[in-house]
Amino acid sequence: MIIEGLKSHGSGNDFLIIDELTTNLTFTEQEREKLAKALCDRGRLGADGILFVMKSEQADCRMRVFNADGSEASMCGNGLRCVARYANDALGLDKMIVETMKANLLVEKTKDIYKGIPTFKVEISPVSFNVKDLPLIIERETLQNEPLPELHSSLLFSALAVPNPHLITLVDSEILQSGLQADLSAKVNQPNELFPDGVNVSFVKELEPGSIYVRTYERGVGFTNACGTAMSASSLVTCSIGLNELEREISVYNNGGKVKCVVHFDEKKQTYSIDLIGNATYEFKISLEIDKNQPEQFVILEKQKFEEETSLYAKLQDEVQTYLQTAL
């Protein structure tokens, strides 16, 4: 069969978009898993995951996210921005509702985060601090800027689901530059007593008032240039401990670029939500010949690059890296 794909990235977190919204393509669950493993292999095509954009009975479209290891993610903030742009192009809507695994989320086209770069604002919710929603197996209901001695003797951790699970700690430059994050991430993403389903692990450093740096080890993927839900969750954590303020833009830097986040709290419902604002950049269109039974043997038939878009984003990345060299 022939599959038309679109390689896109949000903050350097890259995905292959497969359109089931305007085409007749359809896949079994096993086929989705196999496709993700085959197409995300960096030795061939390469991506952090596959975004299946689908028809929805309750929203403008539906997003399903499959990681490079074939597992399905409940949510992906950077991927949602890419889907928002794709659906905007396909449906002609600047504001839409996208169905995800746990919630129907508002997405909309917004002002450029950097001149000429397509930018989208997406809703990140629901948010839960209850450890059962990750799950995290401890004898407390929450873990908010508190020790987790089973992992480390002195770091303070926060655990939350947005709705995918995140473990977040604020660190200094010395710890950030050490190998500690890799060690802790490996521990909680293999069989362990704390996080039976694994967890995304973020180390966060304050750069200046209103600005933070976030580096994330993603469950099912490993270290990525950026993780949208991790940057959102990290922004919320910094607000909860008084480093940043609710309803104010936070500049969030990462190895793939930068985004902006705004944390909201609904007094009536006693719930949090986060706006994640950033790029949705197209890298290339691709035509693939694939045998569903042996997707690893796919053949690239045609590839069309979006050179102007990628070069423009590269300028943003250069500026970010220059800033981080001094700020970190």
Which residues form the catalytic set? Answer: 76, 227
**Residue 104, annotated ligand binder?**
no
**Residue 189, annotated ligand binder?**
no
**Residue 164, annotated ligand binder?**
yes
Residue 155, phi then psi, degrees to nearest 5? -70, 150
Rounded CA separation 60/110 (Å): 18
**Residue 67, annotated ligand binder?**
yes
**Residue 228, annotated ligand binder?**
yes
126 Cβ contact partners less than 8 Å away, ≥ 6 residues apart: 102, 103, 162, 163, 271, 273
**Residue 218, annotated ligand binder?**
yes
The pair of structure tokens assigned to 140 is 């407390």
Residue 308, phi then psi, degrees to nearest 5? -65, -40
* Binding-site annotation, residues: 13, 67, 77-78, 164, 200, 218-219, 228-229
* Binding-site annotation, residues for substrate: 13, 67, 77-78, 164, 200, 218-219, 228-229
